[in-house]
Amino acid sequence: MPTKVTRLFPETTLERVLEALERELVEATEEEILGAAHDLGMKPEMKGSAAFLGLRYPSARRREEFFDPQWVARVLNDPRRIWLASRSLPPGPQAPRPSAARRARTRPGVRRSPRTPKEPTGS
């Protein structure tokens, strides 16, 4: 009799693993939770501990809360937009300074001191 082969889909495996790990976390003792927090340098016993970020205090805002993720992906991957963005960047240190070029093109007579008015003649 041929052996029965059962195919296990990765999503089924993941769900089983997550469910088992969830049970482990539900059973975790308070000492274990405190120990893990202390490992990270957190002190949950203190008011305002970083361990309560996202629980009692709002955590750092995610980009997805403000922008549609598909729109962000489209913008970031659009080569036309990347080219436009690179055009607006300030020039690097090796680039020629426009002020020096401009100075060379100015006419020498422009900065001459104003001529003193002539003395009125008596005639």
Cβ proximity to another protein, 65 vs 119, nearer residue: 65
Nearest to 51 by CA among 60, 61, 38, 63: 38
Please give the structure tokens belonging to residue 102: 């401009």
Q: At what angle do helices 79-87 and 69-77 cross, to 10 degrees?
A: 70
CB of 52 to another protein, least distance (A): 7
**Rounded-to-5 percentages of helix, strand, coil across the chain:** 50, 0, 45
Strand partners, 57: 53
CB of 77 to another protein, least distance (A): 15
Q: Which residues bind another protein (CB under 8 A)?
A: 8-11, 13-14, 16-22, 24-28, 30, 32-37, 39-40, 42, 44, 50-56, 58-62, 64-65, 69
CB of 91 to another protein, least distance (A): 35
Cβ proximity to another protein, 17 vs 75, nearer residue: 17
Measure the CA–CA gap between 105 and 98, rounded to whole angstroms. Answer: 11
CB of 2 to another protein, least distance (A): 21
